[in-house]
Structure 1
Amino acid sequence: MTLFDESERRIWSGSARAYADSFAKLCAYPLERLLDVAGVRAGARVLDVGTGTGTVAAAACARGAKVSAVDAEPGMVDLAGQAAPAAEVQVAALPELPFTDGEFDAVVGNFVLNHVGRPQQALAELRRVTRPGGTVAVTIWRSPPAPGQALIGRAIQAAGVVRPSDLPALASEDDFPRTEQGLTDLLASAGLAEAACETLSWDHRADAEEWWSGPASGVATIGQIVISQTPEVQAEIKRQLDTLSAEFAGPDGFLLLPHVALMASGRV
């Protein structure tokens, strides 16, 4: 386990409910397209890795698939079990999954690669548990981020805050360009054939307080940056966020936040 992996475990520990109430709806946007690309259909054996609150697993079950799902955080597993009672959900983490070689027809990972220390090794493990001819499909956030995705970071920067030293970044030798070509090349380097990638763009509609609730509760790295500050600095971040959010306000008062993700797939 890398320092990045250890940091991710700490960041997400105990955060399941706060994530469900904030960023989970955002991350659910690609799920139907992800399942389509993976070929998820009735009777297919499907693994959802990094299931979070179980939205992808539940959607796969709704298609009649035989679904297994894993997450590194026990709280997420509890919520996923409630969302997808027909799925077999357990605690497990990349890069070592408790499944035999070729066990699944399709393996999906919705934004899970954003949270692993060795993405290529993680993809190789997804490939291992997929049968010959099966499909691996994943999503990640694109870089540079879309304006809506960058909003909270802009507020943090405007408040004069810098990233704490105890939040390690991905090691340079394990990182890759968060572009269509970069993700395609990563899948190919992990041994996946016919690797292809597409860009997904959408406006996420969220209440301003809902959008703030995730980072204010320490969800994800951005949240850890926020809660590591003094109450006075946190209040300044919120003030900056309120100011910057005005450019995304819709006519009904909700925020319309542009986001861009990458979705890639390859065959075993």
Structure 2
Amino acid sequence: MEAAGKVGAAEVRTPFDVSERRAWAGSAAVYEAGFGRLCAYPVPALLDAAGVGPGLRVLDVGTGPGSVAAAAGACGAQVVAVDAEAGMAQRAAQAVPDASVYVAALPQLPFRSDQFDATVGNFVLNHVGRPRVALAELRRVTRPGGWIALTIWAVPAASGQALLGRAAAAAGVPRPADVPALAPEDDFPRTEEGLTALLDEAGLTETGCRSLAWDHHTTAEEWWQGPAAGVATIGRVVTSQGVAGVERVRRHFALLAEEFMDGGGDLVLPHRALLAYGRVRRPAA
């Protein structure tokens, strides 16, 4: 598998992208132990939607600690993976030694056009400043007739996904100014219809989208450690007002988490994501 050369973090495009790089810097170990388990749930459905199988050249964009890459490799695919965070890429390379892993970020991938039979991104569109430009790049590197499959978090969020945000709001900790939301002109409805329309707009064919719902089983301690360490956007919110602010959010989190406790004292958190797919258009005969 050839690339245009290994690269460092790709050129950052928007304030949102700058914020995302900060949110994930140095977070690989904590992410893998907490949020990483949550995000692994859609992997089998994601690979199935992309038609991943033996011998196919598969690109996993935003690989994180390598859950998707490992599953694709187990299917017999030839896997290339990228992540914008060097620590994530390093963990993925260790977890999937047969994969080629690069440090790279959308919307600039270090690959020639039409290089992959299938391209997958597990929640990667949640973390790019210009989703349409990112999707165009995924289309560029996927061969005509190849599949692209993506997951994103649905809006409105399921109750388990909203727990940490509710705790921050109850503690009076707002989203800080240096954690910008996506620009309105770059955003799109995080619904089945909205995500399908985004793929249609990108020129993909045979598009579709469906919801995935599941209960994530964890503990209060595990679920709290990521945001307390500043991981992801919610982590930057939680830690934005220093130690006192973190403690306020923690107290509200502990109270609100009681809604989700099972009989054994563990958390059962409902989550919902969207899985969309489409095929790169073949040239007219």
Residue aligning to 1:45: 57
Q: Distance in 2 between matches of 1:230 and 1:132?
A: 50
| Structure 1 residues 84-233: aligned runs within 5 Å | 84-233=96-245
Aligned length: 268
Residue aligning to 1:16: 28
- 1:233 positional shift: 2.0
Secondary structure of 2:184's counterpart equals: coil
Q: Distance in 1 between matches of 2:94 and 2:217?
A: 25
For residues 27-67 of structure 1, give each alpha carbon's deviation from its aligned partner in whole angstroms, at most 9, with x where no partner exists. 00000000001000010100000000000000000011000
Residue aligning to 1:243: 255
The one-letter amino acid of 2:48's match is D
Secondary structure of 2:210's counterpart equals: strand
Q: Distance in 2 between matches of 1:175 and 1:73?
A: 23
Q: Distance in 1 between matches of 2:27 and 2:115?
A: 30
* Gap runs ≥5 in structure 2: 1-12, 281-285
* C-alpha RMSD over aligned residues: 0.7
> Quick check: 224-233 or 249-258, which moved more?
224-233
Tell me, yes or no, if structure 1 residue 261 matches structure 2 residue 273: yes
Q: Distance in 2 between matches of 1:129 and 1:49?
A: 11
Secondary structure of 2:102's counterpart equals: strand
**Percent identity among equivalent residues?**
63
Q: Distance in 2 between matches of 1:213 and 1:123?
A: 32
TM-score by length of 1: 0.99
For residues 169-211 of structure 1, give each alpha carbon's deviation from its aligned partner in whole angstroms, at most 9, with x where no partner exists. 1000000000000000001111111111000000000011000
Secondary structure of 1:242's counterpart equals: helix
TM-score by length of 2: 0.93
Q: Distance in 2 between matches of 1:253 and 1:220?
A: 26
Q: Distance in 1 between matches of 2:245 and 2:127?
A: 27
Q: Distance in 2 between matches of 1:163 and 1:69?
A: 32
Secondary structure of 1:117's counterpart equals: coil
Given that 2:239 and 2:245 are in contact with CA atoms closer than 8 Å, whether structure 1 keeps it comes out as: no
| Structure 1 residues 17-96: aligned runs within 5 Å | 17-96=29-108
- 1:230 positional shift: 2.6
The one-letter amino acid of 1:236's match is R
